[in-house]
Amino acid sequence: MTTAAPGSRLSSVAFDIAKVRADFPILSERVHGKPLVYLDSANTSQKPASVIKATDDYYRHANANIHRATHLLSERATGLYEGARKKATAFLNAADSNTIVLTKGTTDGINLVANSYGRSKLNAGDEIVLSWLEHHSNIVPWQLIAEQTGAAIKVVPINDAGELDLDAYARLLTANTKIVAICHVSNALGTINPVKSMIAQAHAVGAVVLVDGAQAAPHLVIDVQDLDCDFYVLSSHKMFGPTGTGVLYGRKALLEAMPPYQGGGDMIASVTFEKTQYNQIPYKFEAGTPNIAGVAGFGADIDYLMSIDRQAALAHEDDVLEYATRAVSAVDGVRIIGEAKHKTGVLSFLIEGIHPHDAGTILDQQGIAVRTGQHCAQPVMDKFCIPATIRASLAIYNTREDIDVLVKGLWKVKELFA
Amino acid sequence: MSELSELYQEVILDHNRRPHNFRVIDGATAKQEGFNPLCGDRLTLYISLDGDVIKDVAFQGSGCAISKASASLMTDALKGKTVPEARALFEEFHNMITSNPDTPPADLGKLSVLAGVREFPTRVKCASLAWHTMKAAVAHEADGPVSTE
């Protein structure tokens, strides 16, 4: 799986999985009378008690609007909100917290960049480079902007293992390339893309790069300065925080030069009917009252992630993914989709003669939550000429025992369809 | 697991393995595509009309056992029916698969094997894809593929 795999057994001893599991209350839930085996974290992850408590505490002790009122509650709310921004700055190793825009999530962040940066910079003849691995949310916003600006979209193909064709990528980069938008980790297949070198290549032709980090954030340590990316977007809810919030990191000079995306309160310095002065970054991009409770939870979420040994957590996850790959492959008629050398968190597969949706229902009845379908990545499905897959996706709280239950469940599926 | 065996009855598994009327009708009066973007199920429905009467109906495509069995059973049920009768059956079928599981299901003959879908709200779209496609085909209301979304 990733480079940490050989040492994973040693590291997984150091990683206290029992303690981590105890941090997530929902993992003791029963569904259809069976203990929950949650293998759908790439869809949305579960939340630790500290995150649930932080959102609850916000409403109990700090609920007020931010950045405006003079009273104590507003001060508390603003403190939680801006505190989360500082935590996100550290989480991404950004140099300055004003490069951290709090968004509704990854989709919102991509739409912001496409509409603000894309619309103001792109002209007919310019090119946007995407990849065949992208989630619909990193395709459609660019199609909308391409339609409006006359820019063209180029797509980096993938090989049979589900890895990007890097030679093709190099050939696609030309003086016409203005934007490269690429996922750090594929949501449908789990492929980890070599974004750092891809960013350097794009910069060499003068393009800016947006990295969709939605699937990377829960697994990998992210350093936007080391990556040298221009934009990095992620969602809180994929990395154990609440839904409806996330981060757009942007290079300072780019954010400063970009026009606002949405107009409203908080994003302005002064408003008259003759002329409106916009606020400074990042507030220029944060119109309207945000999801303050969600952001408070997101702050607690980052604290949680920073409190665990993330290298050990990743080694543990790699061990479970490797185990899952072996165990699921051993079930008769299983075909694994996506066998990239560098993968994290995702096992997509098919069972011969059984539609994923039927398998999903039968697994659910046994307490096993997986996702079945296209995973908002129709191009990936088309590439492999398949309508859908069963996707078991992992997070820090999953275990080899979860995989044993999954495998038993798959045999049950086969039995029913025999 | 009793709901599960209710859903995946032998009749349904049989229709999934060997769907009836799984073919193309050359020169069909109506041809309509149906698509469920949630799970990727796709089917093409062919209907031959003689006046108002459905003379022949067939389908092709890929999908889960529920959507395939439903399409298969539907094509059997529609042959010889008039278009208004087909529309009425759509309503009855849809009511059956969305009715309260605590009440006895409507008796729709062979179609009643799909009543188990009532226990699985996430699968209603699978069972109704072929039916929505039929409704669009006879109404000529859709230019593009009909979708359950």
CATH of the domain at B138: 3.90.1010.10
Superfamily of domain A5-42+309-417: Aspartate Aminotransferase, domain 1 (3.90.1150.10)
Residue A178 pLDDT? 98
> Bridge-partner residues for A192, per DSSP?
A185
Let me know if residue B22 belongs to a domain.
yes
Q: Is the pLDDT score of B112 beyond 90? A: yes
Residues 6+ apart with CB under 8 A from B67: B36, B41, B43, B126, B127, B129, B130
> Which residues of A are marked as active site?
376
Residue B74 pLDDT? 98
> Bridge-partner residues for A35, per DSSP?
A30
Residues of B in contact with A413 (CB under 8 A): none
Question: Structural domain tally of chain B?
Answer: 1
Let me know if residue B114 belongs to a domain.
yes
CA B135/CA A270 separation, integer angstroms: 56
3.40.640.10, 1.10.645.10, 3.40.50.2020, 3.40.50.10540: which CATH number matches A52-306?
3.40.640.10
CA angle A165, A168, A170 (to 5 degrees): 110
pLDDT tens over chain A, length 418 residues: 444 444 444 444 468 999 999 999 999 999 999 999 999 999 999 999 999 999 999 999 999 999 887 899 999 999 999 999 999 999 999 999 999 999 999 999 999 999 999 999 999 999 999 999 999 999 999 999 999 999 999 999 999 999 999 999 999 999 999 999 999 999 999 999 999 999 999 999 999 999 999 999 999 999 999 999 999 999 999 999 999 999 999 999 999 999 999 998 888 888 888 888 899 999 999 999 999 999 999 999 999 999 999 999 999 999 999 999 999 999 999 999 999 999 999 999 999 999 999 999 999 999 999 999 888 888 888 889 888 899 999 999 999 999 999 999 999 999 998 8
Is A381's CB within 8 Å of B7's CB?
Answer: no
Residue A5 pLDDT? 42
Range from A60-64, B105-109, B130-134 carrying the lowest mean pLDDT: B105-109
Residues of B in contact with A356 (CB under 8 A): 39, 64
Instruction: Identify the residue whose tokens are 């009768």.
Output: B85
Q: Is the pLDDT score of B145 beyond 90? A: no
> Which pLDDT band, with edges at 50, 70 and 90, does B146 fall under?
low
* Domain-wise residue ranges, chain A: 5-42+309-417, 52-306
Residue B148 pLDDT? 62
Query: Are A250 and A113 a contacting pair, CB within 8 Å?
Result: yes
Q: What is the ipTM of this complex?
A: 0.86
Instruction: Identify the residue whose tokens are 């950045």.
Output: A67
Is B39's CB within 8 Å of A362's CB?
Answer: no
| Interface residue A358 vs chain B (CB under 8 A) | yes
Is A387's CB within 8 Å of B63's CB?
Answer: yes
Beta strand B146-147 pairing with B53-62: unpaired
Residue A261 pLDDT? 94
Instruction: Fill in the DSSP letter of residue A302.
Output: H
Instruction: Give the structural domain span for B17.
Output: 2-142
Let me know if residue B149 belongs to a domain.
no
Residues 6+ apart with CB under 8 A from A394: A39, A41, A317, A320, A321, A324, A345, A346, A347
Let me know if residue B97 belongs to a domain.
yes
| Interface residue B1 vs chain A (CB under 8 A) | yes
Residue B141 pLDDT? 40
CA A27/CA A15 separation, integer angstroms: 18
Peptide bond preceding A282 in cis form (omega within 30 of 0)? yes
